[in-house]
Amino acid sequence: MNKIPIVSNYIIDKEHHDILDIFHKLNESCTKHIINENKLIDLRNKIKPDNHINIQLEIDNHKKEHETILIKIKELEEEFLNHIKRQDIIHFHKI
């Protein structure tokens, strides 16, 4: 017969903390990357030859996608926090 491993509230709490820390690091890393990438995009757009096709729409779309990525990271973090509040806190109380 397989035994179910005993997982304590401490382990679950620690894992929750670790996951939230990962969200924070992911958000920071992506924000830093996006800032740097946007700077490079702007610089390259500024120095492109005069006869280069107009790429402003593509640049704007690219930057909007950056914003969307950051929003989705925050939304996922919020969803995870809400899950903890709605489900885990209720189901992992002391018995």
How is the chain split into domains, by residue range?
27-46+64-95
Q: What pLDDT, on a 0 to 100 scale, did the predictor assign at position 10?
A: 83
Q: Read off the pLDDT of residues 5-52 as tens digits, 9 standing for 90 and up.
A: 555 788 888 999 999 999 999 999 999 999 999 999 999 999 999 999
Half-sphere exposure at residue 46, Cβ-oriented, CA atoms within 13 angstroms:
6
Q: Is the pTM of this model over 0.85?
A: no
Work out whether the CA dihedral 24, 73, 17, 93 comes out positive or negative. Answer: positive
Report how far residue 18's alpha carbon sits from residue 77's, in angstroms, rounded to the nearest whole number: 12
